[in-house]
Amino acid sequence: MKCSEIMEILEELAPKELACEWDNPGLLAGRGDKEVKTILVAVDATDAVLDQAEEAGADMLLTHHPLIFKPVKSVTDRDFIGRRLLRLIQADCPYYAMHTNFDAAPGCMAALAGERLGLAHTCVLEEMGRTKEGVPYGIGLCGDFEQRICLSEAAERVKEAFGLSHVTVYGDDGGEKRIRRAAVCPGAGGGTLQEAIKSGADVYVTGDIGHHEGIDAVAQGMSVIDAGHYGIEHIFVDFMADYLERRLRGQVRAVKEKTVFPCHVV
């Protein structure tokens, strides 16, 4: 199957026009007419991921985060982005990214995270628009736990849902506060922190929350569980590998990256 045909299937799920203006999803390197038999699915186009693509004999790389965000003035071996792009091009391995279009698309990143946490009565946290069918889309979501739980129980649920060894918690640690409504923003959630507060959420589950953002959220009545940027978004890999296997019906093999968290506690 050609890369261009696979791209059409990917954009049925998460059209590029749903992405934020600053983002850069889509085909970032390689040929659209390349015949593809194996796709490696990953969160980031790291050197280790490129090694795995080579080992798997991948004809295409699909990641969540784009390797290229800003205009590239040159592609050489003098910087890590150039080296990776050269490696992909020399291997004739097309590289496609699905970022905020996947974050925003109905049924994708935020919805998957909400399902893992068992949230009900969900709605979009920061609505960006509506699809042709009138379905709202945007960043993050809000929903309710099936019953009120304490903050420490919510933190344990996050760890279990996303396979995490630890999370960072801002807020009541005495077990007195009971939580029902949660806002979730996979990845970096600082930009939607105020939307989470306005939603009436008791807790905000996200990543990359700084010290001042955390204590300021608590001062406004909302606790925060920081699961790390990769901590939630690695669910992209399982979902997309399954989606590709299902949609491509055996014509193309989908291989998952080895899950390796980019940071750890020592």
Let me know if residue 252 belongs to a domain: no
The pLDDT value given to residue 134: 94
8 Å CB contact between 160 and 188: no
**Within a domain: 181:** yes
Which DSSP helix (H) or strand (E) runs through 41? strand 38-42
pLDDT in tens, 60-78: 999 999 999 988 899 999 9
pLDDT in tens, 78-89: 999 999 999 999
Q: Which residue has the tokens 């109905």?
A: 106
Q: How high is the pLDDT of residue 265? A: 78
Q: Is residue 266 part of a domain?
A: no
Residues 110 and 97 in one domain: no
Alpha-carbon 47 to chain mean position = 19
96 and 193, same domain (yes or no): no
Per-residue model confidence as pLDDT tens digits over 188-234 = 999 999 999 999 999 999 999 999 999 999 999 999 999 999 999 99
Number of domains in the chain: 2
Half-sphere exposure of 167 (CA within 13 A, CB side): 29
Show the domain range for 151.
106-231
pTM, two decimals, is 0.95
Evaluate whether residue 51 is within a structural domain.
Answer: yes
> In the numeric block, which tokens belong to residue 1?
């199957």
Q: Is residue 263 part of a domain?
A: no
CA distance 126 to 104: 9
pLDDT band at 264 (very low <50, low <70, confident <90, very high): confident
Q: For the chain, give the mean pLDDT.
A: 95
50/10 same-domain check: yes
User: What pLDDT was estimated at residue 35?
Assistant: 98
Strands, E assignment, 131-257: 136-150, 168-170, 178-188, 203-207, 223-226, 253-256
Residue where a domain stops, chosen among 102, 128, 148: 102
- Confidence at residue 211, expressed as pLDDT on a 0 to 100 scale: 96
- Is a pLDDT exceeding 80 seen at residue 173? no
- Bridge partners, 97 (sequence order): 26, 63
Q: Is residue 256, in this structure, part of any structural domain at all?
A: no
Are 112 and 142 members of one domain?
yes
Q: Do 111 and 185 share a structural domain?
A: yes
- Residue 94 sits in the same domain as residue 137: no
Query: How far, in Å, CA of 59 to CA of 3, rounded?
Result: 9
- Rounded CA-CA distance 171/182 in Å is 14
Of the three residues 59, 74, 102, the one that is the final residue of a domain is: 102
Last residue in a domain, options 53, 77, 102: 102
In-domain check, residue 151: yes
Instruction: Give percent above pLDDT 90 in the chain.
Output: 92
How sure is the predictor about 176, in pLDDT bands with cuts at 50, 70 and 90? confident
Find, among 115, 123, 118, 108, the residue nearest to 199 by Cα.
123
| Same domain? 59 vs 147 | no
Q: Assess whether pLDDT exceeds 90 at residue 42.
A: yes
- What is the distance, to the nearest Å, from the Cα of residue 50 to the centroid of all Cα atoms in its chain? 19
* The residue type at 173: D
Q: Is the pLDDT of residue 174 over 80?
A: no
Q: Among candidates 119, 161, 125, which has minimal Cα distance to 144?
A: 119
Q: Same domain for 36 and 143? A: no
The pLDDT assigned to 115 comes to 98
User: Over 90: is that where the pLDDT of 250 sits?
Assistant: no
The DSSP annotation for 42-103 comes to: ESS--HHHHHHHHHHT-SEEEESS-S--S--S---TTSHHHHHHHHHHHTT--EEE--HHHH
* Mean pLDDT for the stretch of residues 124-150: 96
**What's the rounded mean pLDDT across residues 128-138?**
94
**Judgement on whether residues 50 and 72 belong to the same structural domain of the protein:** yes
- The pLDDT value recorded for residue 263 is 85
In a domain, 251, yes or no: no
Residue 89: count of CB within 10 angstroms of its CB: 15
CATH code (residue 52) = 3.40.1390.30
Query: In this structure, are 127 and 173 located in the same domain?
Result: yes
Residues 26, 45: one domain? yes
If asked whether residues 217 and 205 sit together in one domain, one would say: yes
In this predicted model, which residue has the larger pLDDT, 92 or 177?
92
